[in-house]
Amino acid sequence: MGDYIFKLPDIGEGVVEGEIVLWHVKVGDSVAEDDDIVDIMTDKATVTIPSPTSGIVTEFSGEVGDMVAVGSTLVTFSTDENTSNQVEKEPVPEEIIKPVVEEKIILEPVKEEKTKQIPKQIPKPIPAVTQSKQITSSNGNSRVLASPAVRRRAREAELDLSIISGSGPAGRIRHADLDAYIAAGGTVTGAPPTSYSTKRTGTNEIKVVGLRRKIAEQMVKSKFSIPHFSYFEEIDVTELEELRQMLNASRDDNQPKLTYLPFIMMALAKIMPNHEECNALYDDENNIVTQHSAIHLGIATQTDRGLFVPVVKHVEAMDIWQSAAEMQRVSGAARNGTASLDDLSGSTFTITSLGRDGGLGATPIINHPEVSILGIHKAREMPVVKDGKVVIRRIMNVSSSFDHRIVDGANGAALIQALKRMLEYPALIFM
């Protein structure tokens, strides 16, 4: 029997260290050659390191969240070889290190999932009266504590509040107390409903490692190194919605269903040549701003592993169907973990859409080293004044942030106003 000392191999691309994000083995496990032993995250990607030999794990270095330098001891195996204290023969070739998923960190989440419906809970019946429901006032009269809404509901249901136990402060009767009384068939019991009587005291500590740690680092870098300014606007997308529905109704089976995002992508590609300062990257260490003619749009995407920014490249060379199809491809690849490093790098401008949970406004954090980001919120029907009359229009809010070192306030506002004009008169997008 002998010891085989396996060191972290050179993962390539200038990587000098990596973070342990998952151990696939523990001390005492028997492994075969090429079995997965550990996941290592670098600035480039998360890779799974396979075992270089067969044997029993006798020791491994580092816990989840620890940084390990290339060339330092990773795992010690007990093998059938006759020599002891044997150091690994050769580093594991780079081609056998299996990438888990290449990652690029975003700063604003995109939620496109449907809001989950929380089932309504029916309070449990109230057990026997344990406290008085009435308070004696200074003039000697007794009264039941309840809000006007509770009193009105009790009158409509012909309920006597004086015999119902209240679970609120000083015995105040709440709607839940009425629910419990009715559910119990009009029986007066006495303990307050479970929803008011159960106190939760548990805690859950979660170590910040892996992708979540990288997100945290990137957010700190972006927020504290970039002086943000934000700009908000309302956009009337009534005509755009009609065009979207018409195109979806007439599309063929090979064409993807259109959301608002492909139209926004096409509009940005159309107007960006007049706003090149917003389609740029800033190297703040060397004080160099690189303005791009190509439109490479990062699409912030929520996944079950965290937040990613897959990139749709050269939007300026696409039509509406091509941009929609490519957006769906890279977003889908990010969600299922098959995105390549090329899919997740190279953006010059980022769009973050909060989908159905869009809210009214936000202050999106710029995706460093970019200088601009656009946030899209949920479109909704609203009464607005148009031509002196109150009419119902479909309104979508947008929130944007810019790096004030590179983009002046007037320039950032001009970009959003140009986008607003394109989306309110969508024929302009295709002219």
292 is catalytic: no
Distance in angstroms (rounded) separating the CA atoms of residues 70 and 78? 22
Q: What are phi and psi of 375, to 5 degrees?
A: -105, 130
The residues facing 307 across adjacent strands are: 302
Nearest to 19 by CA among 65, 55, 63: 65
Token pair for residue 131? Answer: 């406290």
Q: What is the largest CA-CA distance in the chain?
A: 98
Q: Alpha helices of 134-276 — where are they, by DSSP H? A: 148-156, 175-183, 194-197, 210-225, 238-250, 260-271
CA angle 20, 24, 29 (to 5 degrees): 125
First to last CA, the chain: 76
Q: Are 74 and 9 in contact (CB under 8 A)?
A: no
Distance in angstroms (rounded) separating the CA atoms of residues 60 and 70? 15
Pairing of strands 349-353, 297-299: parallel
**Among the options 24, 228, 292, 404, which is catalytic?**
404
Distance in angstroms (rounded) separating the CA atoms of residues 418 and 54? 63
Q: Alpha helices of 98-237 — where are they, by DSSP H? A: 148-156, 175-183, 194-197, 210-225
34 is catalytic: no
Indicate the Cα dihedral angle 340, 331, 350, 100, nearest 10°. -40
DSSP 289-318: EEE-SS--EEE-EEETTEEE--EE--GGG-
Q: Are 341 and 331 in contact (CB under 8 A)?
A: no
* Tally of CB atoms within 10 A around 151: 14
Q: Which residues contact 399 (CB under 8 A, 6 or more apart)?
A: 230, 231, 232, 361, 362, 363, 364, 374, 375, 377
Q: Which residues contact 319 (CB under 8 A, 6 or more apart)?
A: none
Long-range contacts from 384-388, C-beta under 8 angstroms, 24+ separation: 384/236
Indicate which residues carry an active-site annotation.
404, 408
